[in-house]
């Protein structure tokens, strides 16, 4: 039997187990597991045909026995993603790369939203970006090298935030403030040492409501950013209020807002589970009619943004560059109202724009320096800045091409 056929059989047996065990309840996620190949996120040197598509973590990065990373076990991934209650156009911030597999599954649940992964380890971030590019997902999912625990305030609000590793109670507050005040959700294993509680936190205006899901155990700490090898242990005890931001323990409130059953898997256990899972959407939303006038407005903004980037590449005056960046950002703000209807990605634009702004700040500091090496430093920074400008230009041109086809 060839490897691909073996993996497909193992995958279906795994999904049957997850449904029977009541971990997997969302038919959209069921289909996502079928569509997204786990083997494409694991380097060949770590691929073990006996372990893949078993309900265990899968190794994808190993530096030494104290520094390695795994993709979480499928039952834990099911719990994480279902705990987010992702909607079609939700923007999701993922803390911890996990090789890009979890974010790729999430994209299937929120295809019209933007997903940004924060990863502290540059090598893991590079592996993740390569995986996403190989699967043509790099336009939908962005990877940024940064301490995940800081979140991404500059691109907030986020409809959903997923923390893929243990986080201490006091570190959750900056992330909660980045949630969308209109029913934003954070899902995270919160706690000390080796025992954490997977907690769903819902934000409504300036109030936060918590619902604890289960206790989890992590293996010894590898870094202060991410823990791996999550193992389900027991149900939880009552959750205490968080400091600084008060999270009211109110499962009924969370359930009333988030626990909708429109995508629930209904199984008749007397027959084959895979035959009983209806993978068609339970409700087909009407396709939004594309307005030619709105399309032309978007294209006009894009053309102005392209002109700014072309000017930016040859502009030597740093202050003028800042003015160009500010003008570019105004156009992004104007485009946000078309985000859902035209599947625009303002957060990706802003993320690249902020990187350019950072290089401009460095250039400004270098210009003030009397260091003899400042010319070489300036050239190096300008080159890096222009690399990001080119990335932004390339993305903008791809968006223009896409919108023209609508």
Cα torsion 398, 403, 404, 406: sign: positive
Q: Is 232 helix (H, G, I), strand (E, B) or coil?
A: strand
Which positions of the chain have pLDDT values less than 70?
1, 192-193, 216-244, 248, 250, 253, 256, 259-288, 372
Nearest 5°: the CA angle 157, 337, 286 is 105
In angstroms, the CA 186 to CA 210 distance is 10
Q: Which structure tokens are listed for 199?
A: 């907690």
What is the per-residue pLDDT for 269? 41
CA 195 to chain centre: 25
The pairing of strands 231-232 and 247-249 is unpaired
Best CA proximity match to 300, nearest among 392, 398, 403, 394: 403
Q: What is the dihedral of CA 39, 40, 43, 46, to 10 degrees?
A: -10
Domains of the chain: 3-258 (3.40.50.150), 292-404 (1.20.120)
**What's the chain's length in residues?**
406
In angstroms, the CA 119 to CA 22 distance is 31
Helical (H) or strand (E) element with 35: helix 27-35
Q: Are 274 and 379 in contact, with CB atoms under 8 Å apart?
A: no
Angstrom CA distances, 342 to 307, 321, 324, stand at 22, 29, 25
Best CA proximity match to 69, nearest among 35, 100, 39: 100
Beta-carbon count within 10 A of 69 CB:
27
The reported pTM is 0.83
In angstroms, the CA 23 to CA 77 distance is 9
Q: Are 86 and 106 in contact, with CB atoms under 8 Å apart?
A: yes
For residue 26, the 8-state DSSP code is B
Q: Which structure tokens are listed for 330?
A: 């105004």
What is the helix, strand, coil percentage profile of the chain, to 5?
A: 50, 15, 35
Best CA proximity match to 152, nearest among 334, 294, 354: 354
Best CA proximity match to 258, nearest among 90, 62, 69, 58: 90
For residue 245, the 8-state DSSP code is S
Q: Are 192 and 227 in contact, with CB atoms under 8 Å apart?
A: no
What is the per-residue pLDDT for 264? 57
Residue 343: Cβ-neighbour burial (10 angstroms; 0-12, 13-18, 19+): middle
Residue 345: Cβ-neighbour burial (10 angstroms; 0-12, 13-18, 19+): buried
In angstroms, the CA 183 to CA 196 distance is 24
What is the per-residue pLDDT for 189? 86
CA 299 to chain centre: 27
Helical (H) or strand (E) element with 155: none
Nearest 5°: the CA angle 277, 280, 282 is 95
In angstroms, the CA 278 to CA 14 distance is 17
Alpha helices by DSSP H, listed for 21-95, are: 27-35, 74-84
For residue 135, the 8-state DSSP code is T
Beta-carbon count within 10 A of 302 CB:
19
What is the per-residue pLDDT for 278? 52
Angstrom CA distances, 263 to 75, 161, 259, 384, stand at 18, 21, 10, 45
């Amino acid at each position: 039997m060839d490897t691909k056929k073996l993996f497909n059989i193992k995958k279906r047996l795994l999904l049957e187990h997850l449904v029977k065990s009541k971990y997997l309840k969302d038919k959209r996620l069921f289909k996502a597991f079928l569509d997204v190949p786990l083997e494409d996120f694991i380097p060949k040197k770590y691929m073990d045909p006996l372990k893949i598509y078993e309900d265990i973590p899968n190794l994808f990065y190993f530096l030494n026995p104290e520094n390695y990373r795994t993709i979480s076990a499928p039952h834990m991934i099911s719990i994480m993603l279902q705990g987010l209650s992702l909607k079609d156009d939700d923007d999701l911030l993922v803390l911890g790369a996990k090789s890009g597999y979890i974010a790729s599954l999430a994209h299937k649940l929120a295809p019209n939203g933007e997903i940004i992964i924060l990863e502290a380890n540059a090598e893991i971030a590079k592996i993740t970006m390569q995986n996403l590019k190989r699967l043509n997902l790099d336009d939908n999912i962005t990877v940024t090298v940064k301490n995940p625990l800081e979140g991404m305030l500059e691109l907030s609000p986020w409809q959903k935030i997923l923390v893929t590793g243990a986080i201490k109670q006091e570190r959750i507050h900056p992330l909660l403030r980045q949630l969308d005040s209109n029913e934003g959700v954070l899902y995270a294993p919160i706690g000390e040492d080796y025992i954490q509680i997977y907690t769903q936190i819902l934000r409504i205006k300036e109030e936060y409501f918590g619902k604890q899901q289960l206790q989890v155990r992590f293996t010894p700490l590898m870094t202060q950013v991410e823990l791996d090898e999550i193992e389900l242990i027991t149900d939880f005890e009552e959750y205490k209020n968080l400091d600084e931001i008060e999270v009211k323990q109110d499962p009924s409130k969370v359930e009333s807002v988030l626990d909708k059953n429109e995508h629930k898997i209904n199984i008749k256990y007397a027959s084959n589970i895979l035959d009983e899972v209806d993978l068609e959407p339970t409700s087909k939303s009407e396709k939004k009619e594309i307005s030619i006038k709105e399309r032309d407005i978007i294209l006009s903004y894009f053309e102005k943004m392209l002109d700014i980037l072309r000017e930016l590449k040859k502009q030597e005056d740093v202050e003028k560059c800042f003015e160009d960046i500010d003008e570019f950002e105004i156009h992004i703000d104007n485009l946000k109202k078309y985000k859902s209807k035209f599947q625009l990605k303002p957060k990706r634009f802003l993320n690249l724009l902020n990187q350019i702004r950072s290089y401009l700040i460095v250039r400004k500091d270098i210009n003030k320096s009397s260091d003899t090496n400042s010319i070489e430093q300036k050239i190096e920074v300008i080159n890096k800045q222009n690399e990001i400008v080119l990335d932004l230009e390339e993305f903008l041109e791809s968006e223009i091409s896409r919108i023209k086809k609508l």
